[in-house]
């Protein structure tokens, strides 16, 4: 697997009339390739993959892999509530040409730490694709603790963790004892710079959907040790990093992309719905504060 660092976009999935909008998806891939994004995550939480059929999963991952054409690494979200299904989906992602898999902790059933460890060991042993663990307790209802991550880092095939607990100290406990080459990625856009300063290898980001070039600049400054520039950009991006979670993600990100004319529709799949009018206006103002051209009405 190509070693993945830097600005990794958790790519949204554009919909139009209830169907996946492949022409727009292709344009978004090209936008990221040309804007300094270092890798693309497809079929993640931000991509609403939990609402896709199995056929849609195959079509979308295959499409993104082919469209990227080895210009960037492609990470595929493969985690489900079931270990057996996660293994099946990770094997499919490997067949479709993904470079690695992002495997979220099983959601709703709330396994213990022993259950989480057994789950990831089973997936790593059977799936045939490098795995990045994904901890997002606000979405899943379970927290993958540092001591569990540190046991799993020595499992063959497990190469990193996306840490989105919102806790700097939790990430730091992992970073202080991580083996060489084990990657921790920030999964919380407000904490990207602090976590990179502590040793994170980059960010898997929602914000990167909306401002890919500026976001990549901020991550690259932090990784290169240009701390004055990294701090400046972190402060500048803080309002939009918070704004994209005013309502359930990815609804605000899709609203922003529509305001910027990058997608023809801000449509989501139920049970998610579009943002309220007041949120849309707040987002428009945040984009204008970033000197982006947002029409007064769209």
Check residue 95 and give left, alpha or beta (phi > 0: left; psi -120 to 50: alpha). alpha
Residue 266 has pLDDT above 50, yes or no: yes
| Residues in the chain, total | 298
Overall average pLDDT of the 236-251 stretch: 98
Cα(40)–Cα(217) distance, integer angstroms: 16
Query: How confident is the model at residue 298, as a pLDDT?
Result: 47
Cβ pair 269, 292 in contact under 8 A: no
pLDDT at site 27: 98
CA dist 221 and 214 (Å) reads: 11
Residues 135-194 have pLDDT tens digits of 999 999 999 999 999 999 999 999 999 999 999 999 999 999 999 999 999 999 999 999
Q: What is the per-residue pLDDT for 294?
A: 86
Q: What is the mean pLDDT of residues 34-49?
A: 97
With bands split at pLDDT 50, 70 and 90, how would you rate the model's confidence at 293? confident
Residues 219, 7 contacting (CB under 8 angstroms): yes
If you average pLDDT over residues 110-132, what whole number do you get? 97
Residues 262 and 24: their CA atoms lie apart, in Å, by 8
Active-site residue, 185 included: no
The pLDDT-based confidence of 297 (bands split at 50, 70, 90) is low
Instruction: Give dist(CA 7, CA 215) in Å, integer.
Output: 7
The pLDDT of residue 295: 79
Does residue 208 carry a pLDDT above 50? yes
- What pLDDT band is residue 220 in, cutting at 50, 70 and 90? very high
Catalytic residue among 107, 120, 162, 185: 162
The active-site residue out of 57, 107, 134, 185 is 134
- 254 catalytic residue (yes or no): no
CA distances from 160 to 62, 101, 182, 189, 290 (A): 23, 10, 5, 18, 32
Mean pLDDT of the chain: 97
| List of domains in the chain | 6-236 (3.20.20.70)
- For residues 49-66, give the mean pLDDT: 97
C-alpha 49/C-alpha 66 separation (Å) is 19
N-terminal to C-terminal alpha carbon distance within the chain: 42
Percent of the chain with pLDDT over 90: 97
């Amino acid at each position: 697997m190509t070693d993945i660092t830097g600005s990794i976009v958790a790519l949204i999935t554009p919909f139009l009339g209830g169907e996946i909008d492949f022409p727009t998806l292709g344009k978004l891939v090209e936008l990221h390739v040309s804007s300094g994004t270092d890798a693309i995550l497809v079929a993640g939480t931000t991509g609403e993959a939990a609402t896709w059929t199995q056929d849609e999963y195959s079509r979308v991952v295959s499409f993104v892999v082919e469209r990227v054409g080895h210009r960037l690494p492609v990470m595929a979200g493969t985690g489900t509530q079931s270990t057996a299904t996660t293994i099946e989906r990770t094997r499919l992602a490997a067949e479709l040409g993904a470079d690695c898999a992002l495997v979220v902790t099983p959601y709703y059933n709330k396994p213990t730490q022993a259950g989480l460890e057994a789950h990831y060991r089973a997936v790593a042993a059977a799936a045939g694709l490098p795995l990045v663990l994904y901890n997002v307790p606000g979405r899943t209802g379970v927290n993958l603790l540092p001591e569990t991550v540190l046991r799993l880092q020595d499992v063959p095939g497990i190469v990193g963790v996306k840490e989105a607990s919102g806790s700097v100290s939790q990430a730091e406990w992992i970073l202080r004892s991580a083996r060489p080459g084990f990657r921790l990625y920030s999964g919380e856009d407000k904490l990207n710079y602090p976590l990179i300063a502590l040793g994170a290898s980059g960010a898997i980001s929602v914000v990167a959907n909306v401002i890919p070039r500026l976001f990549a600049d901020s991550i690259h400054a932090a990784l290169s040790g240009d701390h004055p520039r990294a701090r400046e950009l972190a402060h500048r991006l803080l309002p939009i990093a918070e704004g994209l979670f005013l309502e359930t993600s990815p609804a605000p990100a899709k609203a922003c992309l529509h305001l910027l004319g990058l997608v023809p529709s801000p449509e989501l799949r139920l049970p998610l719905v579009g943002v309220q009018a007041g949120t849309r206006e707040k987002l428009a103002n945040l984009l204008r504060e970033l000197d982006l051209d947002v029409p007064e009405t769209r």
